[in-house]
Structure 1
C-alpha cells in the first residue's frame, strides 16, 4: 500500500536559504517552500520558460526529432531519439518502508548515438525535460566502469532523503551508459569493453561530450532555446568525468561538482593491483578489520577535542598510527587478534605512495597513500568499508571471484588484463608496468584527469566544487588534495579562491555514509552541493567555508539525527563544547 505524503512536485518545491552562525563559522541551512506554479508564471512573464501546457503537448513530437548531423563536437555515428513519453507528475510516497521522492511532469526522451566502428556498441542516453523548466541542465556522472544507463532521475550523491531531485527543482537532467553495455560481457569482467578502441575512448572522455551536445540539441528543439546553465554532477568515476570535462571541454560547462573523483585512474588501478598481489600468499582476513579500526581510532579519535569514535582530524591522524603493536608473536598469522608480518607489510604499502618507474600523464610518477580511519564503517548499505575494497571475504583469485573478492582486485585485475595487456588470460600476478610502458602512458593520457590547467574553464566563469571523503578505501582523498595543490601551483591561489572549493568529509566512506568506530551511531555526511554551485555560478555567491552535513531518518518527517560541519580543506571539525550532535558545537580548525 502506498501512503502519499507530499504535494505534487509541479505545484510545490523548495528553495534553499542560508543563515550564518558567525560564532562558530558554520552556515545553518533551512528550507522554505514556494509554489513552482507561481515561479513558472514569474519566469514566463520574463520570457525565460515556454508555456508548460504547450510543452506537455509537444513531448510526443520529440520522438520524430531529427538530431542535427554533426551536432556532436566529436566524430560520431548517427544520433537518434528512439522515444519521447510524457510522464505525469507524482507525489512522494512511502511504499513497503521505502521512500520515493516526488517527480514533476516531464518529457522522458530516450536515444542512442551510433558507433563509427561496427564492432563497437552504441551510446544509450536518457534526457528528462520538465515542463516547468528553470532554464538549466544537470548532466549526471556514472560510476565504476559504467556500462549501465544513468537515467538522471536518481538522488544526487550524498543527498538527504528529503532533498528534492534536480528534475523536481526544474532542471533538465540527463545521463547515459558511456558507450558500452555491461550486460553484454561476462560477470566480474567490468573492463572487457576496453578491448575495443572506440568503446575505450567513449568511456575515457568522448561519450560525455557527445551526449552533452545531443542533449543541448534536443533541449533547444523542445524549449526553443538553449540552457542558460550547464552543470556536471558526479562522484567516483563520475567525478573523474566532471574534471575531464573541465579540462578537455571548458567551454561546455558552467559548473561542476566532483565528489571523491578518480582523478588519477592509472595510478589508482596500479595501486589496487599492488595491494592485492601482496595478499596472494597471506590474505588479510576480513575479520581483522575491526582490530585495525580500533587501533586507528585509539590513536586519533581525541585529536578533534572529542572522543566519540569519529576521526575528524584526518590530517593530524596520519603520523600517529603505528600498527606494529598488533604484530602476532613470531610474525606468523595467529588469528584475528593480531597482524602477521605480511599483513603489516600490506598496511604499510596501503599507507605509502605507489611509485611508477616512469612518468604518466601530466608528469606524475606516484599515486598517494590512503588515509587511516573508519576501516569498519559500512560503505553502502551493508558492505564493511575495508572488506569491500581491500580484503574481500576470500583471498584474491584468478580469475577474480566477483562475489567474494575485494573490489580493488576485481577492478584492478580487469583493467590490467583488458586495458593494458589486452589479454583476458593475462596473469596479473606477474605484471610489471615497465613491461607495458607505452600502453600505460597511452591509457593514462586517455583516462587521467590530472591536468591542472583549468585557465580556460575559469576564464569563462566556470566553478568547481570538489569533495573528498577521508575514510575512502576506494580512492585516496590525498589525490584530490594533491590536485587542489597543483591548481594553486599552476594558476595561483587567487584564481583558485575565485573558482574552486575543496571540502573534506571526515569519516565518510567512498559511498558517503559512515558510522562511529565499533558500530557507533551514523556520522553526518549528507549535504546538497548542487544548490551552492548554482548560486555561485548564477549569483556570484561563493560557498561558505563550512557547509553543514546532516544525517536524517530515512522516512518522513525525516528527523535530523545529527549535524556536523564539512570544512574547506585543510580544515576539520573541532569540538568546542555543547551537544555533540549539533553542528554549532564545532568549529573548523587546521591540524
Structure 2
C-alpha cells in the first residue's frame, strides 16, 4: 500500500535583507532588497509595508489550463476539469480553475487575468469542511484581496457533501486528507498552475483561515513549514481531539438533569450577560459594554440565585446557577480533574451560548451535533460507530486518553515551529475573547507552549498573538469585529515590518460606529481620557504586569508538546498511524 506521506520540502524562499526603520516607522522611500545587486534591482515598498510588485499578465489562455500536465507535482494524479473566465459586476475578472487531486481533493483557483501582483493566498475552511469555496474571512479587507490582484485557492480537503463526519466511514484516506494532506497538496498544485499560467512562480505565498481553517494554518506551519511565507491562524481548532469530543459534549451534558432534561434555557442568557457586564465591564477602567480581558472577571453565578418571592424569569435556580458555572469552567471528571483547559467559555460571551443552550426542550444544540459527528466517525478510526451517543462518552481520565490519542493525527499542537521560523516564515495568531465555539484558552496555552519551547525572544521574531475583546467565533459578537489580519503578515514578510496594532471596527450599513486598536498580546488598549470612546485614536497601549492566565493544570496539558502528532496511511479501510517514540514514552509516563 502506498504511503500518502510528503515530508516538508526544502525551503526555497528568497532571503530578505531587512530595511532600516527610522523611529519605528516604515516610510514610503524605504527599499527592500529582494536579492543581490545594486539599488536599481531592489523592489520599492508601499506605505502599507507591502512590496510594490509589478503586475504580471497571463502567459497563456485561461481555457488552456485544462491541458496542463501536473501529475509530477504531488504524490497523486491531478485532473483539471474546467478553466473559465469569471467577470461579475465591478469585481476584477479572474480565471476560475477547478480540479481534483486524487483521490478526492477538490481544488478551486482564482487567477487574475488583468494583472497579478505575484502573491498567492490560500484560504482554509470551517467545520469539517466538505466544500471548496474561497472565503478570505477576516482577511477580506486586505488591499491585494480587495483589488483582485492575488492568485488564490482553496480545497474541500478530500470529501464532499454532508458535514456530519459520515464521509469518514471506512474511508481512511479522506481522514488523512482532512487532517493534513489536502491543504498541503493543494498548495503544491496551485503554485505549479500559477507558475505555468503566468510564466513565473509566486514571489510570496500566504495562508489564512479561521476555526478549522486556523487548525489547517497551524498544521501547515508544523508539518509543511516550506509551503507558505506567512500564515494567519484565527481561533484555531488545533486541539481538535479534545475540542470536538469533551468540550462540545460537556456543553450539552453539563446542562442535563438526572432525567436527561435541559436545566438552563436560552431565554435567560441576556440576563446573565447583563449581570456579567455589571460586575466586570469596568475592570479595564472604562464602562463600554466590553471586557477587554475576561480572565480578570471573577463573576459568581450564585449572585443571580432567586430570592424568596422573586420572579423566576429574572433570576437563576440553584441548578441553573450551577450549570452556568460548569459551562464557564469546562469539562471535569467526577473527581474534579479537568478534561479541557480551564475556562471553556469566557465571561462576556453569554449571548452566543445559544450554540449549546437550547431555546426549547426539544431543540438539539449544535454542540451535540459537533461532538457526535466527531465521536462517531473520527475519534476512533478503527472503531467507528454511527450509533454512538453522548451518554457513551465517559468523563474519566482513562477514557480521555483513549479518545484523544486515537485521533492525535487530527490535532495541530506541536509548539516547535523551528523549521518554519528558520525558513523566514511569519505567523499571526488571533482569537476573539467571546468565542462561543473554541475557548481562547486553547490558543493562549499553545502560545505559551510555543514560547516555552522556542524561547520568547525567538518567538517574537516571527510570531504575534492578537486577542479581540467582545469578538465571537471568527467574527460577530458585540466587540469591534471587522479587521484585516492578512496585510500585517504580508508586510512582515515583504518588508520586515513587524505587526503593531490592528484597528478593529464595528460597521453598520457601511459606516464605522466604533473602532478600537488591538495590540500584540499581552499589551492591551487603554482609553487615554480624551475624546470619543468609540474612536481608536483615543486609546494607547498598556502592558499589564504579571500573568492573568488561570493556568494550565488539566489532564491533557502535555498534548501541547513536540512529538504528539502522528503520520498515518490508508490500508484498505484501515487507518494506520505511527506515533513518535518521544510521545509513546511520554504517554506511558502519563498513564502510570
TM-score (norm 2): 0.76
- Secondary structure of 1:420's aligned partner: coil
Could you tell me which of 144, 148, 163 is aligned with 2:131? 148
Aligned to 2:518: 566
Distance 1:228 1:390, change over 3 A: same
Could you tell me which of 347, 367, 391 is aligned with 2:357? 391
For structure 1, which runs of at least 5 residues remain unmatched after alignment? Answer: 1-19, 31-40, 92-102, 116-121, 358-363, 378-384, 398-403, 516-522
- Secondary structure of 2:447's aligned partner: helix
* Cα shift readout 1:472-525 (whole Å, capped 9, x = no counterpart): 11000111111111111000011111011101100111131222xxxxxxx322
Whole-Å separation in 2 of the counterparts to 1:51 and 1:485: 42
- Secondary structure of 2:201's aligned partner: coil
1:274 aligns with 2:250: yes
For structure 2, which runs of at least 5 residues remain unmatched after alignment? Answer: 1-20, 29-42, 46-50, 545-592
- State how 1:175-214 maps to structure 2 within 5 Å: 175-182=154-161, 185=162, 190-195=164-169, 196-214=171-189
Higher deviation after alignment, 171-180 or 368-377: 368-377
* Cα shift readout 1:342-387 (whole Å, capped 9, x = no counterpart): 3333222223254589xxxxxx97434234343355xxxxxxx111
Could you tell me which of 152, 162, 171 is aligned with 2:150? 171
- State how 1:519-530 maps to structure 2 within 5 Å: 523-530=479-486
Aligned to 2:412: 449
* Cα shift readout 1:202-239 (whole Å, capped 9, x = no counterpart): 11111111111111121121122221211110001100
Is the 2:484–2:502 contact (alpha carbons within 8 Å) kept by the matching residues of 1?
no
Is the 2:254–2:327 contact (alpha carbons within 8 Å) kept by the matching residues of 1?
no
Aligned to 1:534: 490
Aligned to 1:587: 540
Whole-Å separation in 2 of the counterparts to 1:238 and 1:409: 21
Higher deviation after alignment, 266-275 or 334-343: 334-343
Aligned to 1:109: 97
- Secondary structure of 2:247's aligned partner: helix
Whole-Å separation in 2 of the counterparts to 1:42 and 1:310: 41
Aligned to 1:60: 63
Is the 2:301–2:322 contact (alpha carbons within 8 Å) kept by the matching residues of 1?
no
Is the 1:562–1:582 contact (alpha carbons within 8 Å) kept by the matching residues of 2?
yes
Distance 1:463 1:158, change over 3 A: closer
- Secondary structure of 2:329's aligned partner: coil
Distance 1:325 1:573, change over 3 A: same
Whole-Å separation in 1 of the counterparts to 2:269 and 2:340: 26
Aligned to 1:426: 388
- Secondary structure of 1:217's aligned partner: helix
Is the 1:550–1:562 contact (alpha carbons within 8 Å) kept by the matching residues of 2?
yes
Aligned to 1:13: none
Whole-Å separation in 1 of the counterparts to 2:107 and 2:294: 39
**How much does 1:337 deviate?**
2.1
Whole-Å separation in 2 of the counterparts to 1:465 and 1:304: 25
Aligned to 1:38: none
Whole-Å separation in 2 of the counterparts to 1:508 and 1:165: 25
Whole-Å separation in 1 of the counterparts to 2:402 and 2:285: 50
For these two proteins, the number of residue pairs brought into alignment is 488
1:440 aligns with 2:404: yes
**How much does 1:49 deviate?**
6.1
**How much does 1:197 deviate?**
1.2
TM-score (norm 1): 0.76
Distance 1:373 1:28, change over 3 A: farther
Whole-Å separation in 2 of the counterparts to 1:213 and 1:571: 37
- State how 1:419-568 maps to structure 2 within 5 Å: 419-420=378-379, 422-432=384-394, 434-435=398-399, 437-438=401-402, 440-443=404-407, 445-515=408-478, 523-544=479-500, 546-554=501-509, 558-568=510-520
1:408 aligns with 2:374: no
Could you tell me which of 280, 298, 306 is aligned with 1:328? 306
- Secondary structure of 2:109's aligned partner: strand
Higher deviation after alignment, 344-353 or 299-308: 344-353
Aligned to 1:35: none
Could you tell me which of 101, 118, 130 is aligned with 1:135? 118
- Secondary structure of 1:310's aligned partner: coil
* Cα shift readout 1:144-171 (whole Å, capped 9, x = no counterpart): 1111122x2x4432645xx656273421
* Cα shift readout 1:300-357 (whole Å, capped 9, x = no counterpart): 111122212222233322xx211112123599x9843222333333222223254589
**How much does 1:439 deviate?**
5.1
Q: CA RMSD in A?
A: 3.1
